[in-house]
Amino acid sequence: MPREFKLEVLEDFTGGLNFRSDQFNLGENESPDLLNVIVDPRGGIRMRDGVDRRNTTALSADVKGMWGFYTDGGTTHLMVNYGTKVAYSNTANFTDLTGITARTNGSRVYGMTMNNIAYGVSYDKPSFRWNGSSAADLGTTLDGSTGNFPQAQYVAIWNNFAWTAHTYESSTAYKNRVRWSNANDPEKWSAADYVDIDVGEHGDYITGLLPMADRLLVFKSKSVHAIYGFDSDSFQVVNLTNDVGSIPLSSPVSSPFGVMFWSGKEGVYLYDGQNFRWIFSKLQPAIDNGRIANLTTNPPQLAWGNNKLYVSADWYNPSTGVTTRRTFIYDPTLSLEGSWVMTDIDAGPLYAYNIPNGVHSVYAGCVANTGIVVDVEDAQNRTSDRYVGSTEAHISSHFVTRWVAGKNPIVKKRWGRPRVVLSAESSVTLPILVYKDFDKSEQSAEYALSITSQTSSSVWNTAKWDDADDASPYVAKWDAVDADLTAAVKNLPTLGTGRSISMKVSGPTTNNHWEVNALAFTYTPRRLR
C-alpha cells in the first residue's frame, strides 16, 4: 500500500520577524531571520524599496535632530540641526540659519511650529525663532514680556499653549520641570506657570513631551505622566505608570493606534490612552544579547509614517565587531501582535514629514553617510540605495522560512520537489539555500532559481488579437503581460530525507525587485520505528 502523500504550503508571512521563539515554536507566518524585505498585506515577502538622498550637498556633520516647519500659507521646510548649526530645506539642499547662537556641538535641537513661526530649543543655548526669512535668539525673561522663550531640552504645542520641559534656568538645570506659555503666545511666559513632577525620584527625569488628544504626555526615564486642563488655574498632573518610561533624547510618536515610545532595555511600548502594551517582545533577544546596542550613547529613534512605525537603532555584529545602524519597521495591522521587519537603512534621527495635500515621507539623518538626509521609503520605487553622489548601493536582501516539519518534528520524511511562486521586474536569479533537521550550521543543498522577464508590445484587453500589419501577422498575443512584473512557479529538485526543512531565499546580485508569494513542500512520512 503506498504511503500517504502530503502537502504543506507557506503563503502567509505576515507574522514577520521573531527572535524570541525557539525553532520549534515559531508561528506559522513568522521568520527567524530576514533582512531588507517587507511583508505584503496579502501575505507575500518582497524586497524593500531603496532610499534616496534629499540633499546632494552633504552637511559638514551628522544630523542630530529634525522637525517640520509648516505655515498656514502652505510653506513647508524640513528643519535639521548638525554640528553647531541649524538649517532648513524646501526641496533639496539645506541652508544654514543665521542670526542665532551656535549650538553646542553634537547636541540635539527639538522644534515646533506655532503661529507660522518655527521655534527651537537645545537646552543650554538660547531658544530661537525663525519666520521663514530671518532668525533670532529669544530671551529668557519669565515676566510675561514678549520676545522670550525658556531654555529647555524638550518642546511641544498643546491646547493653544507652548510647553517646555527639562528646563535650564539661570544656569541651573531643572530636569523635572514643565513650563507653559501664555495662551496663544509662545513668546510670553510667566514665572509662576510651571510644575515640577516627582522631584524626589532619584534618577527619574523628564525625557520627552507629546500631545495626545485631551492630555499632554510627560515622559520620564522610569515613568509616564499626563497633564490635563485648559489654563493655568486648571492644569493638573496625573501619574499614568511607574513601570515604564521613555529613553532620553529619543522621540515618542503619535499614531492612529496610540503613542509609541522606546522604554529602557525593553524596546517599544504602545499607550492607547488606557493601557501600556509591550510590542517589542519578538525582538527583545536582540537587546538582551547586545545586538541592539548603545541605548544610552546613541539612543533609538522613532517616526510614524506611511501607516507604519520606523525605529532606528545601533546594531552590533559580534562576528565582525562592527556597529552599524539598522532600521526596524512595524506594521500594527498585520497579524494579532503586529509585524516587524529589519532593514540595514542607515538612519539616526527620524522624522515623518507630512506636507499638506502632498507626499507623506519619512526622512532620516544618516550616521555612516555623514551629513546626508534620505527619504526612507522613496516614492520612485528604487531598486538600490542612493546616499552619496550618484553611487548606487546594492540592497542585499534575504528571507528564511520557519522549519517545515509536517506538524511532526520527530518523524522522518521523504521530501519531494518544492515549488516556489515568485515574481520579479526583470530577469533575475535568486539563490536558494536548503537546511535540514533543525541545523542551519551547514546547508544541505544550494540552488538558483531563475526568472526571465516577458516582453510584448500588447496587453490583455488593450491590443486586439489580430492587431498587426500584413508583414507580421498575429504578432500581438492575448497572453502578453506587463514587462514590469513577471510571475513564475519554479520547481526545486527532490530534497531527500529529513525530519524538517527550512529555506533561505536571497535577492539577486543585480539591482532588481523580487517577491516570493508562496512555497509548497511535498513529503511522505516514513514509519516511526
**Would you list the DSSP string of 165-194?**
EEEEETTEEEEEEEEEEETTEEEEEEEEEE
> Residues 466-476: what's their mean pLDDT?
38
Would residue 362 count as lying in a domain?
no
> Residues 176-193: what's their mean pLDDT?
97
406: CATH: 2.60.120.260
Would residue 197 count as lying in a domain?
no
Q: Residue 481: pLDDT band by 50, 70, 90 thresholds?
A: very low
pLDDT of residue 462: 45
Q: Residue 17: pLDDT band by 50, 70, 90 thresholds?
A: very high
Cβ neighbours of residue 513 under 8 Å, at least 6 residues apart? Answer: 46, 47, 381, 383, 424, 425
User: Alpha-carbon distance 139 to 248, whole Å?
Assistant: 26
Would residue 303 count as lying in a domain?
no
Query: How much of the chain exceeds pLDDT 90, in percent?
Result: 76
Calculated CA dihedral for residues 240, 245, 246, 247, nearest 10 degrees: 160
CA atoms within 13 A on the CB side of 296: 1
Would residue 306 count as lying in a domain?
no
Structural domain count of the chain: 1
Would residue 191 count as lying in a domain?
no
User: Is the model's pLDDT at 465 over the cut of 90?
Assistant: no
pLDDT of residue 190: 97
CB atoms within 10 A of CB 453: 16
Would residue 12 count as lying in a domain?
yes
Would residue 240 count as lying in a domain?
no
Would residue 482 count as lying in a domain?
yes
The overall average pLDDT reported for the chain is 90
Supply the range of the domain harboring residue 437. Answer: 6-48+398-525
